[in-house]
Copies of this chain bind each other. A is one copy, B any other.
Amino acid sequence: MTSNLRIDIDRLWASLMESAEIGRTPRGGLRRLALSREDGQARRLFKTWCEGAGLSLRVDAMGNMFATRRGRDPNAKAIMMASHLDTQIFGGRFDGVLGVLGALEVARTLNDHGVETRHPLIVANWTNEEGARFEPAMIGSKVFAGFHDVNDALDIRDKEGARFGDALRDIGFAGTDALRPDDLDSYFELHIEQGPELDERGLKVGVVTGAYDIRFLVVEVGGESSHSGATRLTDRRNAMVGAAHVVTAVDEIGMGHARTGARCACGRITVEPNLLGAVAHRAEVLCDFRHGDPAVTQQMVDAFRARFAGIEAKSRCKLTVLREWKYGGEPYDATLAALVRDTSAALGHASMDMLTAAGHDSMNVARVVPSVMIFTPCEKGITHNESENVTREDIEPAVNVLLHAVLKRDRDAE
């Protein structure tokens, strides 16, 4: 009987705190950019822990790390539990890390009690989930899922011109092992919510039934360079002014749908030449529209485009959408979501169904493998911030839900 199994929260917490020393910022956050020296150090620590738990590690060409706990049935597909060890520039200690070390804790708990599973279990770390150094984000899982060419990905450069593939080799994690989506039975990703819903309700488990529809548009603002003293205001085509109107438009459109959960932002603005004395001749704004209902996301994007003419008239600049892409917008596997919901109830934890508005590797994996996410609360929903915080009590229930959902899936799946 495994129903009384519980993870060892003290051991998990100790591992989280040990991880939090690698790339620790003065204010207690983490700065562990993908493929940095700190990422390499965190990966080596994770490798040591995996070996200590008897898992066999494979690393693929993207540096994705797959640590396998052998199953009874040589023909059974693997159940994967994964997330990421990299962070934002001013990141927290739990975003991503909890999902990897929580999965490791599940494996350790099974070891403690000598529990065999029929399916192999894989504890995985995806490379470059955050995209804070190399863009785009979630590229490791995207290549794994077959939506991005591996060689293109290895050729990505960071702002300093460093090549992804070279940086990966430098930290010693350019592997040659291969794993395919077809090798997986199912995919579970444990993560902090990164929003305040669970924390405000005092709930410890979120059943993530799907992902927000996320749309990105890169808007170019074409102006004309001139002298910012001598040129008459009415003669200017100031790209900085055009870009500012883009930013406020995105914010206003988002606020119009805030009540139904819209999330909009401009992630990045670049202005050229961005110099005192010079009217900007060009700007670029990365715009980000998110809503749980793809129809509303579309409505917001349409409203945004409809504002272009007005912004062009006000700023005398030309607006052009240079690139456009999307994530999410699809439900996760309903069977797995029900499994997580029921498991939580069986363990005595009230849960709520929710969508993720943040991007996760699960969005890539869900398109090729039955997937689900489990959220824990995080303090006030603060994340991508050095003061991101959770308590032992916040996370213990969801890690136990992960453990038992995986065990149940192991029994139920083919």
Answer whether residue A251 sits at the interface, using C-beta atoms and an 8 A cutoff. Answer: yes
Q: Which of A53-79 contact B (CB under 8 A)?
A: none
- Residues of B with C-beta under 8 A to A228: 263, 265, 267, 288, 384
- Residues of B with C-beta under 8 A to A230: 193-195, 263, 356-358, 381, 383
Q: Which of A202-238 contact B (CB under 8 A)?
A: 212, 214, 216, 224-236, 238
Answer whether residue A338 sits at the interface, using C-beta atoms and an 8 A cutoff. Answer: no
From B229, B254, B356, give the contact of A194 (CB < 8 A).
B229
A315: shortest Cβ distance to chain B, in Å?
A: 8
CB-nearest residue of chain B relative to A290?
Answer: B229
From B245, B268, B281, give the contact of A248 (CB < 8 A).
B245
> A46-58 toward B: CB 8 Å interface, digit per residue (1/0)?
0000000000000
A359: shortest Cβ distance to chain B, in Å?
A: 6
- Residues of B with C-beta under 8 A to A384: 225-228, 277-279
- The reply to whether B89 and A385 contact each other, CB–CB distance below 8 Å, is no
Q: Interface centre among A227, A255, A286, A383, by most B CB within 10 Å?
A: A227
- Residues of B with C-beta under 8 A to A288: 228-229, 276
- Residues of B with C-beta under 8 A to A277: 88, 130-132, 137, 267, 358-359, 384
Answer whether residue A275 sits at the interface, using C-beta atoms and an 8 A cutoff. Answer: yes
- The reply to whether B269 and A274 contact each other, CB–CB distance below 8 Å, is yes
- The reply to whether B359 and A273 contact each other, CB–CB distance below 8 Å, is no
Answer whether residue A90 sits at the interface, using C-beta atoms and an 8 A cutoff. Answer: yes
- Residues of B with C-beta under 8 A to A358: 227, 229-230, 277
- The reply to whether A269 and B240 contact each other, CB–CB distance below 8 Å, is yes
Number of chain A residues close to chain B: CB under 8 A: 73
From B212, B233, B359, give the contact of A264 (CB < 8 A).
B233
- The reply to whether A266 and B240 contact each other, CB–CB distance below 8 Å, is yes
Q: Interface centre among A212, A235, A243, A251, by most B CB within 10 Å?
A: A251
- The reply to whether B251 and A238 contact each other, CB–CB distance below 8 Å, is yes
Q: Which of A367-390 contact B (CB under 8 A)?
A: 381-386
Cα–Cα distance between A290 and B232 once the two chains are bound (Å): 11
- The reply to whether A258 and B286 contact each other, CB–CB distance below 8 Å, is no
Answer whether residue A34 sits at the interface, using C-beta atoms and an 8 A cutoff. Answer: no
Answer whether residue A262 sits at the interface, using C-beta atoms and an 8 A cutoff. Answer: yes
Answer whether residue A196 sits at the interface, using C-beta atoms and an 8 A cutoff. Answer: yes
- The reply to whether A258 and B276 contact each other, CB–CB distance below 8 Å, is no
Cα–Cα distance between A212 and B90 once the two chains are bound (Å): 43
- Residues of B with C-beta under 8 A to A405: none
Q: Interface centre among A265, A273, A286, by most B CB within 10 Å?
A: A265
A84: shortest Cβ distance to chain B, in Å?
A: 13
- Residues of B with C-beta under 8 A to A278: 88-90, 132, 267, 384
A234: shortest Cβ distance to chain B, in Å?
A: 5
Answer whether residue A135 sits at the interface, using C-beta atoms and an 8 A cutoff. Answer: yes
Cα–Cα distance between A170 and B358 once the two chains are bound (Å): 50
CB-nearest residue of chain B relative to A234?
Answer: B258
Answer whether residue A16 sits at the interface, using C-beta atoms and an 8 A cutoff. Answer: no
CB-nearest residue of chain B relative to A281?
Answer: B90
Given known pairs A228-B267, A269-B269, the reply for A233 and B248 (CB within 8 Å) is no
- The reply to whether B279 and A227 contact each other, CB–CB distance below 8 Å, is no
- Residues of B with C-beta under 8 A to A137: 276-277
Answer whether residue A401 sits at the interface, using C-beta atoms and an 8 A cutoff. Answer: no
Cα–Cα distance between A240 and B226 once the two chains are bound (Å): 25
From B216, B227, B245, give the contact of A383 (CB < 8 A).
B227
- The reply to whether A238 and B225 contact each other, CB–CB distance below 8 Å, is no
- The reply to whether A241 and B251 contact each other, CB–CB distance below 8 Å, is yes
Given contacts A229-B357, A245-B248, 12 further A-B contacts (CB under 8 A): A132-B273, A137-B277, A195-B227, A195-B231, A212-B229, A214-B229, A226-B381, A229-B263, A233-B262, A234-B255, A244-B245, A267-B275
8 contacts between A and B (CB under 8 A): A89-B273, A132-B277, A226-B382, A230-B356, A233-B254, A238-B265, A244-B244, A244-B248
